[in-house]
Amino acid sequence: MHSQSLSRIPKDLVVREYRPEDLNACLNIYASNIEEFLPAALELLIDYLEGPFSYYLVIETKGEIVGCGGLDIMAEANHAAFCFGMVRRNWHRKGLGSLLTLTRLALAEADHDPAYFGLETAMLTEPFYTRFDFERLSIPEQRYVGGSYYVSMGLWLPVKSRDEIRAELKLLTVDFDLEFPP
């Protein structure tokens, strides 16, 4: 399914839920992506992490956090939103973004079939999400002063596909320090 991009992931990775002491590492990841991919607005991430959220994950290797990303689940609306997904700039193109994306897709429970996932992304990263079958839902807009143009994207994903993703993730040499739904 996504084995080509996942074949590049390094060994010794742990995917776990965010803890407050991870804040500076996540801010550093955000800062490493400013200009090309993200607006110069670290306060957006700080505000998000200070509020309630369903999941915010970090990817770490040898004690260093190299990726992070959230998934807000609104079960009553059959909607899950990707939030602040990013990989440290010097770790791009190693499969971590794919790992983070697939892990968040796998976290949605089987209550709805299919489940809807939405996200907002810079146009530069739109091709990344199209590899996972996300479709553009909006025209490009400059949503942040002096920032890149952004689009909204969405994906309807059936339970069967989420089960296949979970099975694929279990084959990886990654330590998932979180529980996936049955």
Average pLDDT over residues 41-64: 92
Span 3-177: which CATH code? 3.40.630.30
Query: Cα-flanking dihedrals φ and ψ of residue 116, to 5°?
Result: -100, 135
pLDDT digits (tens, 9 = 90+) for 75-105: 777 899 999 999 999 999 999 999 999 999 9
pLDDT digits (tens, 9 = 90+) for 169-180: 999 999 999 998
pLDDT digits (tens, 9 = 90+) for 122-164: 888 999 999 999 999 999 888 766 667 889 999 999 999 999 9
Q: Is the pLDDT of residue 50 over 90?
A: yes
The answer to whether the CB of 122 falls within 8 A of the CB of 150 is: yes
Cα(45)–Cα(52) distance, integer angstroms: 12
Q: Per-domain residue ranges for the chain?
A: 3-177
Mean pLDDT score across all residues of the chain: 90
pLDDT digits (tens, 9 = 90+) for 104-118: 999 988 788 899 999
Closest CA to 15 of 81, 79, 105: 105
